[in-house]
Structure formats: C-alpha cells, structure tokens
Amino acid sequence: MAYIEIENLSFAYDNKTTALQDVSLSVEQGEWVSILGHNGSGKSTLSKLLVGLLRPKSGSIRVDGFELSEDTLADIRRRIGIVFQNPDNQFVGVTVRDDIAFGLENLCIPREEMIERIEEYSKKVDMFDYLNKEPQQLSGGQKQRVAIAGVLAMRTDVILFDEATSMLDPEGRSRLLQDMKRLNEEGGTIITITHDMRDAVHSDRIVLLKNGGVLADDSARNILGDKELLEQASLELLLPLELMHTLQAEGLGDDTLREYLWQLSLNG
C-alpha cells in the first residue's frame, strides 16, 4: 500500500459548485508528486482535504494506514505538514524562534528537546541567525524557509507545498525549489500543488487535474512533453519543451539535443 491513498474523493462547496469529482491517486514514501492544474481545476481543494481543513463529500484518504477522520486528524497532521501560498498568513509567532516552536508546543514536546529541534532545523534551512528576528524583518523567501523549519521540526513524513512559490521573487523561488530538492533527496516525501510548470518539472510524477477530475497521471517528463494534453488542461508548454516538441514533430534533433532541452527546462 502506498503511503497516501486517495480513493474516489469528491467535494462540493456550499454553493453546490463541484470542486472534485471521483479523484483517486496515490503517493509513495520518498516520492515527489506535483498536483498540476489551471485555476479552478480543484488542486487547492485537494490540498485542504489532505490536511483535514475540508471534509470530503464522499471517498476516502488514507495516510500511513490511517483513514482520515475526526478521530485520526491529529495523527494525520503529525505525518503531513503544509507550507501555504502567502508567507505572511502562516506566521503565528512573534519571532522566528516562537514560530518554529508553535507546532512543537502543540505536540507537547519537552522543552529541552524543543530547543534542540529549533536549533537543528533552523540551521538546516539557514535561518539559525534569524531566530530572534520578527516576521516583518524577513523577506518572503525567508518566511517560507521558517515555515519549512517548523514543519521539519515536527518531523512530518510529508511536506505539502500549496502554491508556495507563487508570491516569491525569483531569488526566493529558486531558493525554495532548492530546499524542496534537498528535502526529497534526503528521503522526504514532497507534494507540490501548483499551476506553474516551472515548479512541476522538478517532480518525479505529475497528477494533472481538470474540472475537478484527474486528466492524467504520469512522469513529469511525459506530462510536460505532451502538448495536446497540456492544451486540454489549458496549460502551455515551457519554452524549451515547446522547442523540443517542434523538433520531434519535424523529425529533427537527436536524443542529445532533446535531453539538453529537458535539462534547460529544469534550470528555468
């Protein structure tokens, strides 16, 4: 059984708008999966369902063998941490130290261990020197790194990034993607909720959503190289992949050139 199992999940808002319809997918431990889709595809609704902020109309979510319910919600949240889109909305502490400590206090972690974890994980994201700083003294990228430290300190198995790069400047976005890569290389399970293919290109797998349903589920390379599929999802190819697709359609270019263009998209 996969670490996360979603089966026949459906959800509708109070205005009767159907956000998700019969969605099934799985995530293996140590995998990096991007949930990709245009605005209104249902991807952000899915992220909120995964961490119990919304309750499904039907279907089930299982995490590490636990089916998500009111009784298991606390256990699920010990396993899945989330980094939200707007870094200003996720800061709950007066200082960086307080913010990282917040989740640990909710877990009733002993004080000495809490201090050790705060120091360990603030160093891991290069924010140790900022522990006594106030939120307004940090850049957007630094706030996101504090949010990551808070999740890491809770030692969750999965980190879900919900459009976490969308409000960052290019430098902050690049740094956050580097952090995601490193966490995944160290064995962490990453789920990226995004409409930006520059983020999705780094993942192992992409689940492509459209109108609340799964349009495709395949490797990042296969999804992002399929022009017709992306057009169905109202998305456009990244420029290097557009060129790669054009070369393939014309029977031009060799495997070396196509590989170069793929690597160029990874660095874009």
- The per-residue b/e assignment along 178-200, b for 16 or more CB within 10 angstroms, e otherwise, is ebbeebbeeebbbbbbbbbbebb
The pLDDT of 179-208, averaged and rounded, is 91
Residue 248 falls inside a structural domain:
no
Residue 259: inside a domain, yes or no? Answer: no
How confident is the model at residue 256, as a pLDDT?
67
Query: In total, how many domains does the chain have?
Result: 1
Please, which pLDDT band fits residue 237 given cuts at 50, 70 and 90?
confident
For residue 89, what are the CA distances in angstroms to 48, 109, 165, 214?
15, 24, 14, 29
Quote the DSSP letter at residue 125.
T
pLDDT above 70: percentage of residues in the chain: 90
Q: Report the mean per-residue pLDDT for the chain.
A: 87
Domain assignment of residue 96, yes or no:
yes
The partner residues of 192 in beta bridges, in order of sequence, read: 34, 161
pTM value surpassing 0.75 = yes
| Within-domain flag for 137 | yes
Identify the CATH number of the domain in which residue 133 sits: 3.40.50.300
In a domain, 73, yes or no: yes
Position with higher pLDDT, 78 vs 268: 78
Q: Mean per-residue pLDDT for 109-118?
A: 93
Say if residues 200 and 176 touch (Cβ distance below 8 Å). no
Containing domain of residue 60, as a range? 4-220
Q: What is the pLDDT of residues 58-77, one digit of tens each?
A: 999 999 999 999 999 989 98
Is 266 contained in some domain? no
Q: Secondary structure of 198-255 in the HEC alphabet? A: HHHCCCCEEEEEECCEEEEEEEHHHHHCCHHHHHHCCCCCCHHHHHHHHHHHCCCCCH
Q: Residue 234: inside a domain, yes or no? A: no
pLDDT at 198 exceeding the cut of 80: yes
- Compute the distance between CA of residue 25 and CA of residue 217 in angstroms, rounded to an integer: 8
In a domain, 118, yes or no: yes
For residue 7, the model assigns a pLDDT of 96
Q: Give residue 263's pLDDT.
A: 64
| pLDDT on residue 265 | 65
